[in-house]
Amino acid sequence: MVKAKTIRSWNLNATNLEESVKFYRDLLGAEEGSRHQVGGVDVVRLKLGGFGIGLFDASGGDRPGVPHHTISIDGPDDPEDLKRELEGKGLKVDNIRPHRDSGYSIYVDDPSGNRIELSVGDG
């Protein structure tokens, strides 16, 4: 059975990346973490309380797969075991992504079409 541990990150499109960083930093006190690229797109990671916000540069249009929200879960070591469990409950697994260090993420949509990343281990 899948059991959520915490919301790890909230990932959003930002039509103006710097203005969005300023909003979360100056209004809500978020701390800027890393800046990097995902699929050739600039991403800024912010820490807000106990979780992260990922801002994806959408100045050229919304990014595929964004928004999505990451939930850390307890899950099996083998992602195929979790995939079978989720599919057995009627969910379509969209993608499995291994993490750099250890663990993996599985992507599904909730009943309203919101993209959810279920993350097992470090990542």
- Assign a CATH topology to domain 3-120: 2,3-Dihydroxybiphenyl 1,2-Dioxygenase; domain 1 (3.10.180)
The per-residue pLDDT of the chain, averaged, comes to 92
The model's confidence at residue 123, banded by pLDDT at 50, 70 and 90, is low
Whose tokens are 């919301």? That residue is 7
In the chain, the percentage of residues whose pLDDT exceeds 70 is 99
pLDDT at res. 9: 92
The answer to whether the beta carbons of residues 110 and 116 sit under 8 Å apart is yes
At 119 the pLDDT is 95
The ranges assigned to domains in the chain are 3-120
pTM of the model: 0.81
pLDDT tens digits along 34-82: 999 988 999 999 999 888 999 999 999 988 888 889 999 999 999 999 9
Residues 6+ apart with CB under 8 A from 31: 25, 46, 47, 48
Band of residue 11 on the pLDDT scale cut at 50, 70, 90: very high
Give me the mean pLDDT over the 25-33 stretch.
94
Q: Is 6 left (phi over 0), alpha (psi -120 to 50) or beta?
A: beta
- Does 94 have pLDDT greater than 80? yes
- Distances in Å between the Cα of 119 and the Cα atoms of 2, 61, 73, 75 are 11, 26, 6, 8
Half-sphere exposure of 86 (CA within 13 A, CB side): 25
